[in-house]
Amino acid sequence: MRELALHILDIAENSISAGATRVKITIEENFSDDLLIIKIEDNGKGMDAETVARITDPFVTSRTTRKVGLGIPFFKAAAEACQGTFAIQSEPGLGTRVEASFQHSHIDRMPLGDIISTLMTLIIGTPEVHWIFEYQVDEEVFIFDDEPIKQTLEGVSLSEPIVMKFIREALIEGIQSTSQPLEEVSQRI
């Protein structure tokens, strides 16, 4: 995967599989500290410490009773290749929080990529989950919460073309108004 947005989608799929009814995705671009931070927090069924260790380093841990995917190790490797950090905190019955940080200007940092398509996939494709997206660029913050949208729609499907258009445009507007013009960003790096 050559986009952080694809990793975000993959991690969020784990949250859905864990039975989460609420998932919050946070992207923080902090140019003053040269950091890009990604967080995915859910209220799914959580994991014990052993499971967390196994899914994080599947080749290091010995127990192989259950098949584990490679999504998390890939994401961890991507962060660590960019002077970054990676952490999973999980509590059985409470939920899981995955956090990865990257050196923003690192030459190997993959681009954020098509975050709109990742969010549309999750919001439209899994309407039973309450999605919250927070995008922060230095002091500017954009928060997208799909709960008021679903309440307003009352029974009209998110897959209806005019509804989809509304959500997509709301996301684009919010992200664009938060991002800095490119010239300004490159000066600050």
Partner 1 sequence: MSTIKSLDDLKKIREQALQKQQLKETSGKKEVIVGMGTVGIAAGARETLKAILDMIESENLEDIIVRQTGNIGLDSFEPIVQVVLPGEEKVTYGKVTPEMARRIVQEHVVDGKVVTEYRIES
Positions in the binding site for partner 1 (CB under 8 A): 1, 6, 9-10, 13, 16-17, 69-71, 114, 117-118, 120-122, 124-126, 141-145, 148-149, 152-154, 156-157, 159-166, 168-170, 173-174, 177
Residue 33 or 169: the one with the smaller Cβ distance to partner 1 is: 169
Looking only at the bridges linking them, the beta strands covering 35-42 and 130-137 are unpaired
Residue 43 or 118: the one with the smaller Cβ distance to partner 1 is: 118
- CA-to-CA separations, 20 to 15, 44, 47, 173, in angstroms, rounded: 6, 4, 13, 28
Helix (H, G, I), strand (E, B) or coil at 57: coil
Q: Which sign does the torsion angle of CA 168, 169, 172, 174 carry?
A: negative
Residue 139 or 183: the one with the smaller Cβ distance to partner 1 is: 139
Smallest distance from partner 1 to CB 186, Å: 25
Residue 87 or 124: the one with the smaller Cβ distance to partner 1 is: 124
Question: Distance between CA 55 and CA 77 in Å, rounded?
Answer: 13
Smallest distance from partner 1 to CB 90, Å: 18
Report residue 140 as tokens.
Answer: 């500017």
| Cβ atoms of 63 and 130 closer than 8 Å | no
Smallest distance from partner 1 to CB 177, Å: 7
Smallest distance from partner 1 to CB 19, Å: 11
